[in-house]
Structure 1
C-alpha cells in the first residue's frame, strides 16, 4: 500500500465567464498534519483573504516537502469545444484523470480522493478509473460528494483551484476594464457583463458560448442564433 495520497477538486464548473480549474495534489499521508496545521479546510468555508493566505502556505510547504501539484486550467473555449462531443461530467472526468497522471503513475499505487462531480458519486469514481486505464485497477479511488470537507488533501486542492480561478477572473476583468462579478449566472454584475460581451460579431472569447445565459443574451441582442465555436481558431 502506498504511503501517499492524491486529492483532486475543481472550481468553476457552473460559471458563464472564465475557465474551469482542476487541481491535483499528491503528498505523503504523514503530511496531513501539515495541512491541518496551516488551516486547510473546504475553500467555500474560507474568506477570500484567508483562502489566499492558506494557498500561499500550501505552495510554500509543497516546495519544502516536495509535494506534487498540478493545476489544469480549462479555458471557456475548450469547455465549449469539449461539450460538442461530451457532457460537462465527461469533460470533468477527462480533466480529473489528466491531472492525476501529471502527479502520479499507476505503479505508485496511491490512494486517490475525488470530490465527485456526478450526482452518482460512485459512478464518477468508476469513470475516472476507467479513463485512467487498466493499469490503475489496483489503486484505491474514493469518490464522494463534499470530499473537500472530508479529506485534507482534497481541501488543499479545492483551495488552490478556487484561488487560481479567482485570479483568472481578476485577469479577465482587468482586460475588459469593466466589472464581471463572480462569473456565475446568478450574479447580477455578471449578467450585465455578459450583455456587454456579446455585442461584437462574435461573443467574447472568455464567455462560455454553450451556456444558456450566453445564448439567450446573444439572441436577444442579435435576433439570431449564436455562432458555433470553431475548433481551429478558438473564436
Structure 2
C-alpha cells in the first residue's frame, strides 16, 4: 500500500488500488464495502472495497478475516499482509477522504452531509471495480442510514447485481471484513504518518483514538487550537467538538453583516452594494455608458437607428 500520492497532497481525496487478479475478470465475483474513521474528529475517513471470485469465498474465510474493530493493530497489519499475498484471487481499492474535504463538503453553501458523501464514495468504488473489468454478481455493504433504503438505492444504481446491505456487515460477511481491514490499515498508517502543512514545530503525535470523547484527543485539541487561525487541516473543523472549542477558546470575530443585511451596511458606509450591479437600473446605466472605442469611431448600436 503506497501512500505517497496522498501524502504529497493530504487536503483532498485519493484512490489507491491493488492489481486486478485475472480470475476476477473471468469469474463471477463478490465484493464487500466498508469504511474506517467515520466518527473521529481527527484524520481522514477511508472507504475500502475488497473482491474475489464467488468460488473463492471459503478460501477468503480461511484467511481468518474479521471485523477490524475487534482486532489489534498488529493483527490487522498481519491480515492485510495475508490479503496482499492472496493477490492471485483477491483485489482491493481504497478512497481516502481528507479531514479538509469532509469539512468543506459539510459546510459549503449546498450542504453535502456525511451520509451522502459516504454513499457516493461507496458507489464510486463499486463503479471502479466494474470499470476495471471485475465480473461483479454480489455486493455486500455495511449500512449508512436506513439499510433497506440504501439497498434499494444501490440495486437501482447497479441493476443485475445482487446487493445486500446489513448493519454490522463487517462481522457477517468475510468479504466486508476484508474491506474493513484494508480501510482501517490505511487510515492507521495515514494518521501515524500525517504530514502537517502548518508550521507547528515539534508535534505531539499522541492523539489518542481521535474520537471526541477520548480524553487524549480532547487534550490534543486544546493544545493545538490557535486563537486566530483555529486548527490544522488534520482536524475536521465541521465537527461540533472542534466548533465548540473554537467558539469558547478562540478570538471572537464580528462580521458587519451579522446585524444588518448587505444593502443597509453599504448604505451606512456610503458604499454601493454588490447587489445593485445586478438590478434593472444597473442595466440601464450600462446601456448609457459607451466605451470610447465606439465613440471615437462614431459607431452606434443598430438598435439606435
Residue 129 (structure 1) shift: 4.2
Contact 2:230-2:250 within 8 A present in 1 as well: no
- Contact 2:32 / 2:49 at 8 angstroms: preserved in 1? yes
Per the alignment, residue 125 of structure 1 pairs with 151
Distance in 2 of aligned mates of 1:86 and 1:103 = 25
User: Shift of the alpha carbon at 1:36?
Assistant: 1.8
Residue number among 172, 187, 194 corresponding to 2:194 in the alignment: 172
Cα deviation for residue 204 of structure 1 reads: 0.8
Aligned match of 1:148 in 157, 165, 170? 170
Residue 61 (structure 1) aligned to one of 82, 86, 101: 86
**Pairing 1:93–2:93 present:** no
Give distance in 2, aligned partners of 1:109 and 1:21: 22
Q: CA contact under 8 A between 2:30 and 2:136: conserved in structure 1?
A: no
Does structure 2 retain, via aligned residues, the 8 Å contact 1:93–1:127? no
**Contact 2:137–2:160 (8 Å) recurs in 1:** no
Cα deviation digits, residues 174-204 of structure 1 (max 9, x gap): 9833311111112111111112232152421
Structure 1 unpaired stretches of 5+: 226-235
Aligned to 2:236: 208
Structure 2 CA distance, aligned partners of 1:148 and 1:159? 9
Q: CA deviation at 1:109?
A: 4.4
Instruction: Rate the CA distance shift 1:203–1:128 in 2: closer, same or farther, 3 A.
Output: farther
1:137 aligns with 2:162: no
Contact 1:114 1:143 (C-alpha < 8 Å) held by counterparts: yes
Structure-1-length-normalised TM-score: 0.85
Counterpart residue number, 2:129:
103
CA–CA distance in structure 1, aligned partners of residues 34 and 53 of structure 2: 18
Secondary structure of the 1:9 match is strand
Residue in structure 1 matching 2:76, options 43, 51, 54: 51
What is the distance in 2 between the residues matched to 1:109 and 1:3?
Answer: 6
Query: Relative contact order, CA 8 A, sep 6+: which one is greater?
Result: 1
Q: Does 1:217 align with 2:245?
A: yes
Unpaired runs of 5+ in structure 2? 1-26, 197-201, 254-305
Listed one character per residue, the Cα deviations across residues 99-131 of structure 1 (whole Å, up to 9, x for unaligned) are 11122249934211001121x11112223445x
- Deviation of 1:7 after TM superposition, in Å, equals 0.4
Q: Normalised by the size of structure 2, how large is the TM-score?
A: 0.66
- Say how many residue pairs are matched: 217
Deviations 1:110-169 (A, max 9, x none): 211001121x11112223445xx4xx2221111000001111100000111111111122
